[in-house]
Structures are given as C-alpha cells and as structure tokens.
Structure 1
C-alpha cells in the first residue's frame, strides 16, 4: 500500500468509521473518489486530515467525517434528484453524483465555481449541472428535489428549502450561529408536512448571504 492509500485508509478507519459512519456504500465511495484531487494544491498535504480546509472568500471544505456522515444520513438512492448549495471544490458534488441520479450544484464564488467545473470534468463526472449564483436562501424554480444539501451553515433555515423537497425528500442543514450549531435532517413526509431531527452539534462557516436572525433593538 502506498503512503497515499495508507493515509486514505487511516482517514476512513480512524476518523470516519469511528464517527458511526458504517454504511458500506459510503465507505467504498471514499476510496473510489480521490479526495486529494479536489483539494487546492496549497493544502493538498491536509487532504486526509480531520480538519476543515480553507477555500476562497471564507468558505471551507468540510472535514472528511462530516462529508461522510452527511451522505449516510441522507440515504441517497440512485433515482434521487439532488440540490447542493455551495459547490466548493466539487468533492461533495462528486460524491453526491455517484450516489444519486443528478446533482444541481450552486456556487456563489466565481473562482470556486470554475475550480469545481475543472475538477469534475477531470474526473469524468457528467451527471451534474453547475450554476454560479446565490442559493443561500433557496433555489425554488428548479425543484422539487429528493435531496438538498447545504454545505455551509445558516443562522436561520429559509422555508424555501423545505418547500423545494419532493414527498419523501430529505434536507441536510447546519443551523445556528457560533459557538454551537445544530446539524439537522428534515424530511418531507407529505406535501406541506415535515419532520425534523437534530443529529448532532457542530460549527462551521456560514453561507455567504445566509438568512440572518432578526435582531431586536431597544
């Protein structure tokens, strides 16, 4: 086993599996899609580290265990139409594309949009539509979706995301503000009806132009 593959193995076994990510399809995918190919060159030495990787304009690449946990919680099916808010470098996009039918991914930062486009083309991942735009408060004219993933946090979760779910659809979002945020899984049980599960506490960078809490001034 090369050093690269040993590091990948350690990432899966020591970081991801120990965080209760046991779905074999997800674990296999982490060996198939090479994470280091999506990490900016300056940070490639951190590709398998248990830490967020800084990107352009305050964005981050989530930790490997967070990426894997999101995939497991969403239980993606081969028929699922997926919306990703925050393409970043395209790594999560690639993972989603391998599990689902098609991914619409929206990125507000032009440099990241361009980077993701190159990365996905290089990996020959074609069941993806990349858009440059602002979807922090919803992408309502393109649904409904079976799966929606917000790859950064939002202080308040806009109702537009729930409304974009198809019946049976699942939404992953990290909601709140520092120091403590809630990772949430929201399911559309029927048109207009939703259930919400708090998965775990965490903290990560917010979406640019995310919906803010109302502030009361006296």
Structure 2
C-alpha cells in the first residue's frame, strides 16, 4: 500500500523546494493537500511522480515542480479572484482555493468537471466553483480575475482570456516558443496594457481547443 503522506513529503522536499519554490504558503498547501484524491484510483500509486500525470481522456496534471513554480510566479493573495483554465481533476483548483479568496475552475469535459467538483467537496473546499465550457474562451461571467492560470501548453494566449484579466492582474501560461520549446510566461496588465516575460522553459502536454486564432497582440 502506498504511503501517501511520505510520497507527498518527498515530492515537496525532492521536487518543490530544490527548484526555487520558496513561497511558504504555497509549500504548506502542497505539503498538506492529498494529490491522490484528485486522480483516478488507477493512478493514485503514482500521484506524486515528477512528470505530467495522465488522468484519462488525454488529459494530465502538470508536473509538480512546473505547477509550483507557475503558481509562485503569480503570487496568489488571500483576496484574489482566480480563474483556473484546464482544471481537469480539480487538484490545481483545490491548491488555488487554499491560497485565494475564490476560484473558478474551468474545464471542457463534463465528466472531469463532475469528478473535480466531487473531489473538492471531499476536501471541504467551498470557495471554488467548477464550470464546463471551451477552455480558450475563459469564463467571462466571473471576470475580471486577479490571477489566471492556464494548466498546459498553448500556442498563444487567446484574446478572450487576456481580456478577462483585471488591472494589475497576473496570468501564467506555458506558450509554445518558436524553437518548439515551451516557455513559461508571466503576463501582467498595467495601465490597461498586457506585457509578458519568460520565466523558464517547460514542456507540459497541450490543452484542447487552443488552435491559433484571435490572438492577443502584445
């Protein structure tokens, strides 16, 4: 039988802390939240693997180190309203809910949304809402958001999502670069203008529905 508490400890100590993740609030959440509760039973034994984790239907949870560094970059505050694009099994939404004031978890698959909602309820998380819809459109009904996290590689950040970012809001996404390498980019809206910078390279699996169209021009 897998010792999940030990696996979680080694994830944090072996994958998270050595990779420049120093936000104590984030580290505390990753140390406490049971990742195995958000994946299919068949995947629970490898819930803490240092790679993207397949959860079915061609979808994945981000590698823990990449996920943690992305969340650290957007510096989620206790009063922030967050949009989690590509919520899948709900783990990312749950982590964000422990850090933020409220979270909207968006996924395009109704079965994954239902599973995520059940998993969040099982953890007693009440400040997160799960919705189903096209990922590339975001969720305008809840905008503007202080933080937007896109949970997978995309060719670009669609205008529809960028426009949902609040003033001084932060968005993090893995954008496919020109050399075929994924670039984790931090976007911020200041004075109505969205600018971005590259943080590090990573190559998570892609998200569905992000074909190049209506791109946001920076």
Task: Report the TM-score, using the length of structure 2 for normalisation.
Answer: 0.91
Equivalent residue number for residue 140 of structure 2: 140
Equivalent residue number for residue 80 of structure 2: 80
- Asked if 1 retains the 8 angstrom alpha-carbon contact of 2:135 and 2:208, the reply is no
Tell me by how many angstroms 1:179 deviates: 4.2
Equivalent residue number for residue 195 of structure 1: 195
Equivalent residue number for residue 107 of structure 1: 107
Tell me by how many angstroms 1:213 deviates: 6.8
- TM-superposition CA deviations, 1:65-107 (whole Å, max 9, x none): 1221122111011110111111111111001011111111111
Tell me by how many angstroms 1:60 deviates: 0.6
Equivalent residue number for residue 161 of structure 2: 161
Match status 1:175 vs 2:169:
no
Instruction: Summarize the alignment of residues 1-218 of structure 1 with structure 2, pairs less than 5 Å apart.
Output: 3-176=3-176, 179-191=180-192, 193-212=193-212
RMSD across aligned positions (CA)? 1.8
Tell me by how many angstroms 1:4 deviates: 2.9
Q: C-alpha separation between the residues in 1 aligned to 2:58 and 2:155?
A: 16
Task: Identify which range, 83-92 or 3-12, moves more after superposition.
Answer: 3-12
Tell me by how many angstroms 1:22 deviates: 1.2
Q: C-alpha separation between the residues in 1 aligned to 2:117 and 2:100?
A: 18
- Asked if 2 retains the 8 angstrom alpha-carbon contact of 1:58 and 1:205, the reply is no
2:57 aligned counterpart, secondary structure: helix
Task: Identify which range, 85-94 or 2-11, moves more after superposition.
Answer: 2-11
- Asked if 1 retains the 8 angstrom alpha-carbon contact of 2:54 and 2:60, the reply is yes
Say how many residue pairs are matched.
212
- Asked if 1 retains the 8 angstrom alpha-carbon contact of 2:188 and 2:195, the reply is yes
Q: C-alpha separation between the residues in 2 aligned to 1:127 and 1:180?
A: 35
Change in Cα spacing, 1:206 to 1:3, as seen in structure 2 (3 Å) is: closer
- Asked if 1 retains the 8 angstrom alpha-carbon contact of 2:89 and 2:116, the reply is yes
2:173 aligned counterpart, secondary structure: strand
2:136 aligned counterpart, secondary structure: coil
Gaps of 5+ in 2: none
Task: Identify which range, 99-108 or 154-163, moves more after superposition.
Answer: 154-163
- TM-superposition CA deviations, 1:29-73 (whole Å, max 9, x none): 112211111121111111111011112321111111122112211
Tell me by how many angstroms 1:123 deviates: 0.7
Tell me by how many angstroms 1:212 deviates: 2.2
Gaps of 5+ in 1: none
1:30 aligned counterpart, secondary structure: helix
